[in-house]
Structure formats: C-alpha cells, structure tokens
Amino acid sequence: MNHVRIESLTATIVDLPTIRPHKLAMHTMQQQTMVVIRVRCSDDIEGIGESTTIGGLAYGNESPESIKQNIDSHLGPLLVGEEASNINAAMQRLDKAAKGNTFAKSGIESALLDALGKRMGLPVSELLGGRVRDSLEVAWTLASGDTARDIAEAEQMLEMRRHRIFKLKIGANPLEQDLKHVVAIKRALGDAASVRVDVNQYWDESQAIRGCKVLGDNGIDLIEQPISRINRSGQVRLNQMSLAPIMADESIECVEDAFSLAADGAASVFALKIAKNGGPRAVLRTAQIAEAAGIALYGGTMLEGTIGTLASAHAFITLKQLTWATELFGPLLLTEEIVTEPPVYHDFALQVPRIPGLGLTLDEDRLAHFSRR
C-alpha cells in the first residue's frame, strides 16, 4: 500500500437545481454549485470529494471557479506522484505550498480519505478514530422569509418526523421585523421544536444587544454569529450577557481561530465545518480544542451535496458529544443527485453508511449532465 501513488486529481464544477430559493442574509441561492474532486490512484482506486461554498464570493474568499482553478493549476500538480495513502504528508505538502484555500483542501482531503477507506475496506469514520454512533440528528433551515409559510413548512417536517430543529436566517431585514418573524414561529411551534437563528454577522453590537435579549426572552435556543467576526471584544460581551447561547461560525476560518476564540471566551458553541477548517481531519482538531475548553459543538454545513455532507458526517459521528446536533441537510435542498445512493434520512436523523470510504458511487451520466461546460 505504501507504493500506491496519486496519478491524477481533477475538479469539475457541477450546478444542481434546488427545491426553492434559499435566502441568506448576504445572498439568495437559486441553485447549488459544487466542485466534485476525483483522485485517481495507481491501484485503480478512485476517491471522491466535494468543495462547496454558499453564495460563492458573497460568503467567503473562495468561489467554485477559484477552487477549480487552484486545484487544476496549483494544488493538484503538487500531489501527483505522492503516496496516496499518506494523507498526513499530502495535506502538509499543500499547507506548506498554499495559504488558506480551506474549501479546496477540504475536498481534496475528503477524496484521499475516500480512496484510503476503499483500499483498506473501512468507512472513513473508522480512519478518523472510529464512530460512536450511526446517525446524526439534522436541523432544517426555514428560509422563505414568509412567516406563515415557514410555520407551515416546520409543521409538515414535524409530522413527517424529518426535522424537529429549525434554524432561521435573519439579518437582511430591519431588526424589529426579523424579531417579530422569529418569535411568531417559536410561539406557533412551542415545545415541539427547537428554534434557532443565524444572523451571519449582519447586526452591529447595538442591534445584537437588543436582538439577543428579545430572542432569549422568547425561548430561542441558539444565536449564531450575530456580529462581525472582527469584533472579538463585542463577541465576548454578548456571550457573557445573552440568555441564549452564542455560536461562533464565521469567526472560525481555521483551527487557530478556534484556539483564540476559546481563550477569549467569545462563544459557548462552535459550529464545525470541514470546508472552513480544511477537511474532516482538520475539523476534528477544532473539535478537540472546543472539548478541552468546555465549549459545546454543532455540526455545520456549507449546504454541500451528498459527497460533502457524508464527508462531514463521517467526522461528526466520531465525536463524543454534539450538544446542538447538526445541520447536514444540504442534499435535501436538491432536486437532482449525482450519486447512485442518495443519503438516508429518517426519524429526524441522517443515517451514516458503514460501506468502505464515504459509501458513495458517482452516477457518471448525471454527473456529465449537470457538469458546467
């Protein structure tokens, strides 16, 4: 196995339709665009990974186009000829040669793990230390922006036993309008559901003081990234005063961010995202920092498709505790698939397969159909 080499690494942009527009504070998604990464090894085993952003450059520093370009021109050529099974050496080589690019690196690491799992006959979770559960509870984002429609959608999800945790994207509208919208939904759902909000940094600190108080007083369970990641002292103040726990998301752009956030006491919950940490192995380092500091964990998403979702899930099922569950619902937003085995959701949870690697096979015809030309 030590003599197995990486022969090629390719990146393909894929555009998949969604069930509805997905409204965020900074962007409204009309479709989901992902980069599918394929690593071909000298033993004819292929690993697949995914790099996906929310809204491209509207969210962060990488876009699908830049991810593909950097993989094709820089990151991929660095790995051709390297040992396919030595993921540690491969990722260190990338980190030394290229700063940042965590989304691209995450997809590459996922593909290397998938190939290694297939080679060894083990699920990726076992390569990451071993699973302690087989499923993960999954939240659903209510993002229509219409209060009555969001309530009806949540009630339908509860009846189907698909979701009982709901997150609302707020911040784009005036503060009082958003607060009224959230409180009305919580009152309608009552104790049958957990209701949370994600502000995506769109409040200033004065708005956040007001918003966190109203939300906490009205039973909202969690407030995600209410103010700018740059305002670290403000995050500390809000974390100390808010009745509802504050979760850091955009504040964590690398593993080192997790350490400084924990040291400052800037959040009581961390959102874990493989894309923002650089891969499934990297996100577990952030989780270890949080666990050592007594900070609770939440399994986040960049609304990846099935490949990226299962790469995240294989990491998350190895964790001792996910106090705030996960939001690995990305595949449920899509109307089309590019894999032969769609993910299984039932009893409020995503079921994580025990098949070697990520447990997925690409549907070549559908991949070709939805690939960008």
- The residues annotated with a catalytic role in the active site are 169, 327
With contact defined as beta carbons under 8 Å apart, do 277 and 254 qualify? yes
- How many of the other CB atoms lie within 10 Å of CB of 142? 25
163 Cβ contact list (under 8 Å, min separation 6): 138, 139, 140, 154, 157, 329, 348
Distance CA(84)–CA(66), nearest Å, equals 24
CA 261 from centre of chain: 19
As a whole number of angstroms, the distance between CA 313 and CA 179 comes to 32
Instruction: Give the whole-angstrom CA distance, residue 246 versus residue 234.
Output: 12
Pull the structure tokens for residue 91: 């990722």
169: left (phi over 0), alpha (psi -120 to 50) or beta: beta
Gap between the Cα atoms of 155 and 159, Å rounded:
6
Tell me the three state secondary structure of residue 15.
Answer: strand
Instruction: Kindly report the number of other CB atoms within 10 A of residue 196's CB atom.
Output: 25
Which of 175, 133, 195, 120 lies closest to 357 in space, CA to CA?
A: 120
